[in-house]
Amino acid sequence: MGRLATIIHSNYFDFFVTMAVLANSIFFAYQIQSVSDGPEFWIVHLGFCIFFVSELILRIACEPYVFFSRHRVLNFIDVVAVLLSVVEVLIKIGENGSANMVLWRLIRLVRLIRISRILRLKLFRELRLMVHSMVHCLKPFLWTVCLLHLEVYFFALVFTDGAIHALQNKVDDNLQLYFGSLMRSVYYLLAAVLGGVDWTSCGDSLGSVHPAYRVLFVVYVVFTQLALLNVVTGIFVDCATRAAMSDRQLVLQEEMMKEGLHKRELEHIFMEVDDDSDGWVKASKLEEFLTDDKFGPT
């Protein structure tokens, strides 16, 4: 069991399982692209399902404490994905109606979360760091959305009030389109600062009401672009930096990498000291090398 646990927790085994996950994702894309869902697709899917169920059982059976203590989020995703694959097979076997078909298609989409397995590999260390940082930025993101909508809501009230009074006296298609209602105002004010619409068009339509509205609209765009969004970007960068520093596994990997480099440097030094290659270092030879400028203190 100990040897099996060593194999399962090795980098080679993780790499092999990750490649199987990627192959399953490619097969899933080909299955969606295909018009028919023939039996050959289900034979391949059943093979993938048996493989992932067996791999999950082995990982839990070998070291259950390690499985539920390390990478808890990723392991939970693995368990959910494997259970969904099993449920998908059972639904396909007992399929007898459109409701089952809808549920089956939803399950097929949800099981793609297993692709997060690639975050465990050292090869994708930077990708895992980016995902880890984005997860830690969710809280500032929600507060940013609230702040942005409060600002947009305030300006939308002002512009909608002026537009509705102006539309009572004249017909302006652009003004009606952009600021004919509160929901339209909120929508196009967001689009104006996020690149969804040319903000000069919105400003020109407000200028037909009164030049002061155009000036106020320019103030809204400039403040949002140069002040609010830049401050938010700084907060996100700070949050991502702190998330990277708190990623203990990444720090351990970097320390292990540095330790490996130091070990190889020391091995290289002692191989040079041991000129007769007998595995022993003489004290006189060591003193001679330590006084050498190449290895001595600088």
Among residues 94, 120, 146, which one ends one of the domains?
120
Write the CB contacts of 295 (distance below 8 Å, at least 6 apart in sequence): 269, 289
Write down the pLDDT at residue 139. Answer: 85
* Residue whose C-alpha is closest to residue 201's, from 187, 217, 219: 217
**Residue 166 vs residues 91, 106, 179, 189: alpha-carbon distances, Å:** 59, 49, 11, 19
Do 156 and 234 reside in the same domain of the chain?
Answer: yes
CB 260 within 8 A of CB 154: no
Report yes or no on 131 lying in a domain: no
Q: Is 228 exposed, middle or buried (0-12, 13-18, 19+ CB in 10 A)?
A: middle
**CA-to-CA distance for 115 and 113, rounded, in angstroms?**
5
- Domain containing 30 — which CATH number? 1.20.120.350
Do 39 and 114 reside in the same domain of the chain?
Answer: yes
Do 264 and 169 reside in the same domain of the chain?
Answer: no
Write down the pLDDT at residue 97. Answer: 45
**CA-to-CA distance for 136 and 108, rounded, in angstroms?**
28
Report yes or no on 298 lying in a domain: no
The total number of structural domains in the chain stands at: 3
Q: How confident is the model at residue 131 (pLDDT cuts 50, 70, 90)?
A: confident
Q: How confident is the model at residue 293 (pLDDT cuts 50, 70, 90)?
A: low
Write the CB contacts of 61 (distance below 8 Å, at least 6 apart in sequence): none
Write down the pLDDT at residue 24. Answer: 79
Instruction: Give residue for tokens 């196009």.
Output: 188
Report yes or no on 132 lying in a domain: no
Do 256 and 236 reside in the same domain of the chain?
Answer: no
pLDDT at 62 over 80: no
CB 116 within 8 A of CB 143: no
CB 51 within 8 A of CB 20: yes
pLDDT at 98 over 60: no
Percentage of residues in the chain having pLDDT higher than 90: 18
Report yes or no on 48 lying in a domain: yes
pLDDT digits (tens, 9 = 90+) for 133-142: 777 788 888 9
- Domain containing 195 — which CATH number? 1.10.287
Q: How confident is the model at residue 99 (pLDDT cuts 50, 70, 90)?
A: very low
CB 281 within 8 A of CB 270: yes
Sign of CA dihedral 20, 23, 29, 34: negative
pTM of the model: 0.56
Write down the pLDDT at residue 236. Answer: 85
Write down the pLDDT at residue 122. Answer: 57
- Looking at residue 226, the DSSP 8-state letter turns out to be I
Do 6 and 88 reside in the same domain of the chain?
Answer: yes
Domain with 261, as residue range(s), is 248-290
Write down the pLDDT at residue 129. Answer: 72
**CA-to-CA distance for 88 and 109, rounded, in angstroms?**
11
